[in-house]
Amino acid sequence: MGPSPFIVHELTGHIQSIFLVEYPDRILVLDGGCHCDAVLITRFVTRTLRRSMDDVRLAVVTHMHPDHAGGIMLLRRRHHIPVASHAAADSWYAGVGGAIQHVLDIVMAWFVVIRVKSSFRRLWYRRRLAPDHPLEDGSALPGFPDWRAIAVPGHTTHDIALYHESTGVLYVADLMVQVKSTLTMPIPVSIPELMERSLVRLAALPVRTLLVAHGGRIEHPSPKIFTDLVDHIAARTGIRYALLMLLCGFPAEIRRTKRALAARRPPGERA
């Protein structure tokens, strides 16, 4: 792996880390945190880095949850920063089920605010992103062709991870979370079967620096980080978890994806 052409900055956001990739001539934002974090990003770019917001050429939304998409909406409105996300990102909060889930996810983010002892600020954001650059699995990032999107569904149906192959930097967003210094599965794991496949796929990548939205930066991670998490998926049981999953199961996209997966299984394996 070669020398890095960029610096990765980690900002302590409202309830998660925000990563900014700074090149000499441009900046890439890997998720924008919550709505209230847009101000934090702007201050960091203009005051700490002493750069213009015009240098921020792209912001990527890895999935539509409030602590990933919320800040980007405001950044785009104020600074006209183009946004990239999975082409299917807007299907997550579509329809009545999606609208209910959007409200519930913001309420659940309030609980995270309480748990991490953060302050009470605005979390509300629009549930429709309409990305300027829709991405597919393997897409190079516009303006940052050395980065590519990897489709890693499981947490939602449209998650992407972002990988810089020549330096081995991988941003996994919410594919895993750190709780009391232990890496574990996020809530929800909407499609366990796809989450397992995504983790196994990432375990095969050469990774030198792993970036986790709720966990920070991990240098020289072992591939076992990913494969060990596969066991965590099946280990999640109990009434509390079942209830949480009920509260996270409103998007029609979950049922549609599960039906499509079932239809692809051989007849003997279908439930």
Residues near Fe ion, by CB under 5 A: 65, 174
Cβ distance 233 to 195 under 8 Å?
Answer: yes
**Closest distance between Fe ion and the C-beta of residue 65, in Å?**
4
Cβ distance 158 to 92 under 8 Å?
Answer: yes
- What is the amino acid identity at position 62? T
CA atoms within 13 A on the CB side of 263: 6
**Closest distance between Fe ion and the C-beta of residue 129, in Å?**
14
- The dihedral built from the CA positions of residue 228, 254, 104 and 136, taken in this order, carries a sign that is positive
Give the residue with the Cβ less far from Fe ion, 37 or 174. 174
Cβ distance 189 to 195 under 8 Å?
Answer: yes
Give the residue with the Cβ less far from Fe ion, 67 or 196. 67
Token reading at 255: 């049922």
Give the residue with the Cβ less far from Fe ion, 65 or 158. 65
Between CA 127 and CA 29 the distance in angstroms is 20
Give the residue with the Cβ less far from Fe ion, 21 or 177. 177
